[in-house]
């Protein structure tokens, strides 16, 4: 029997968009804490799988395009079939489209909202339907962790659908907590700050913009995927059983400045 509230041994975690960056950091951190991983996404997360398996944990790759809700039921059924149950869901998959609000297209609006908000909700719904079938029976709780954003709190510029979707993620996280807490599920979110990944490489390489970003961050550095991974382990663990509907900013102090 584990002596630490952070131990995830024997638990199965689904991580969407786990092939790189924040998703990979979360998957590896959960595996380090003892969880087995189902990596879900359009691109095969082979590098992530190698890292997880090197830790002695199991990793299964599940191909799914979450730009629509079409694969949602199949994803959850596949996870349960392969692992026997699903304990933790991390909704990390997301996209962004940039354009002035005056010129933003309906196509770019729908694409971002469908992936970042609609699929997130219906995947959570499918996972929760499975979790309530066993939650609390063995002293464990289901855990849903949504990846929010600094734009859950701020408006941003030139990303209207991304801002709307991430604001929606914050609201849905609270709604899930309100409805599902009594049924043995914790629903929380992580709002990453500026994280050094391939998606932010251009910003890091822009001398002026990079300096402006660092000047606002009290930590005076970019975050890395492992920083987000640590927060995910906490929210996925027994240590966070009394944390509900919370949006945890992991931003080096960005919002405090």
**Active-site residue numbers?**
162
User: How is the beta sheet containing 59-63 ordered, strand by strand?
Assistant: 59-63, 36-41, 12-16, 88-91, 142-147, 185-192, 247-250
**Token digits for 216?**
């606002």
Q: Tell how far CA 126 is from the center of its chain.
A: 16
Cα separation of 199 and 201, whole Å? 6
Q: Tell how far CA 98 is from the center of its chain.
A: 21
CB 63 within 8 A of CB 44: yes
**Token digits for 67?**
């730009």
CB 238 within 8 A of CB 88: no
DSSP letters along 114-177, please? IIIIIHHHHHHHHHHHHHTTTTTTTS--EEEEEE--GGGTS--SS-HHHHHHHHHHHHHHHHHH
Residue 135 neighbours by CB distance under 10 Å: 19
Cα separation of 169 and 128, whole Å? 16
Cross-strand bridge partners of residue 88: 13, 143
Tell me which H or E stretch contains 28: helix 21-32
């Amino acid at each position: 029997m584990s002596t630490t509230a952070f131990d995830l041994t024997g638990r199965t975690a689904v991580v969407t968009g786990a092939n790189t960056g924040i998703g990979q950091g979360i998957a590896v951190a959960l595996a380090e804490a003892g969880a087995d991983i189902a990596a879900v996404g359009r691109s095969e997360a082979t590098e992530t799988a190698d890292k997880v398996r090197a830790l002695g944990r199991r990793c299964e790759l599940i191909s799914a395009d979450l730009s629509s809700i079409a694969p949602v039921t199949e994803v959850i059924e596949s996870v349960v079939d392969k692992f026997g149950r699903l304990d933790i869901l991390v909704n990390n998959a997301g996209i962004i489209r940039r354009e002035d609000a005056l010129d933003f297209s309906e196509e770019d609006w729908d694409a971002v909202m469908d992936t970042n908000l609609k699929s997130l909700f219906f995947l959570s719904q499918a996972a929760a339907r499975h979790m309530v079938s066993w939650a609390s029976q063995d002293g464990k709780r289901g855990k849903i962790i949504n990846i929010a954003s600094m734009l859950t709190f701020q408006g941003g510029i030139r990303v209207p659908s991304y801002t709307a979707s991430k604001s929606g993620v914050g609201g849905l996280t609270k709604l899930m907590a309100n409805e599902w807490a009594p049924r043995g599920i914790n629903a929380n979110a992580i709002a990453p700050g500026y994280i050094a990944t391939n998606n932010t490489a251009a910003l890091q390489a822009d001398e002026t913009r990079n300096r402006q970003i660092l000047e606002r961050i009290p930590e005076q550095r970019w975050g890395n995927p492992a920083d987000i991974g640590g927060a995910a382990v906490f929210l996925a663990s027994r240590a966070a059983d009394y944390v509900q509907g919370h949006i945890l900013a992991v931003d080096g102090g960005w919002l405090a400045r």
